[in-house]
Structure 1
Amino acid sequence: MSKITYVQPDGSLETCDVSPGKSLMLAAQSKGISGILGECGGQAMCATCHVYVDESFLDKLPAPSEEEDAMLEEAASDRRPNSRLSCQIDASDELDGLVVHVPAEQLW
């Protein structure tokens, strides 16, 4: 299990245990964490699960696919160098302690 912390726009924290291989989007939805919509069901087609990944973990993640990269350009909140779609990040032992920040907006 990996402990993943979701930081809400107001600064509140929600930490949950995520099984290896489960996406951060599905974990957030199953735990009722607000701000992670995932309207496309995790297919990297909507950008409503956009998060800002703690920069100390960026080198532990695979590079975004072309599809993810294109969708990040469509995100409602500003794209940053640490922007990722949470549906494309699967929990692993290497990501234990990961912190992601939920943007203020997910929809246009």
Structure 2
Amino acid sequence: MPTITYVQPGGAADAVTAEDGTTLMRAAVTNGVDGIVGECGGQAMCATCHVYVRPEFAARLPEIGDEEEEMLECTTAERTENSRLGCQISVDAGLDGIVVDVPADQV
């Protein structure tokens, strides 16, 4: 099972494991990771699962789709070149060990 590390704004880290095919958002919500809300349940309609993917993992991710692109324009926290919606990233062995930073604000 892939491991995902969520780094909080203060530097504390939560490492969780997830079944292949689980999204970053679902893994965070299921494991009670602070700062990941997922209000829309993973439909790319709320941007409350915004994360900053560490640069070393960016090339392993799928392209940003139109819906994700639109919602990233609506994030509460600043959008950066590393911004992604956690609900649009499914983990598998290729993303084992991924590290993402949680924004200070989601809603």
TM-score band (shorter)?
A: over 0.9
The equivalent residue for 1:95 is 95
The equivalent residue for 2:50 is 50
Structure 1 CA distance, aligned partners of 2:104 and 2:74? 15
Instruction: Provide the alpha-carbon RMSD of the alignment.
Output: 0.5
Structure 1 CA distance, aligned partners of 2:32 and 2:44? 20
Length, aligned pairs only? 107
Identity %: 53
The equivalent residue for 1:21 is 21
Structure 1 CA distance, aligned partners of 2:48 and 2:30? 16
The TM-score, its normalising length taken from structure 2, stands at 0.98
The runs of at least 4 consecutive aligned structure 1 residues that moved more than 4 Å come to none
C-alpha deviations, 1:24-78, integer Å up to 9, x for none? 1011111111100010110000000000001111110011110000100000000
Gaps of 5+ in 1: none
Gaps of 5+ in 2: none
- Amino acid in structure 1 at the alignment position of 2:52: Y
Alignment of 1:1-108 (within 5 A): 1-107=1-107
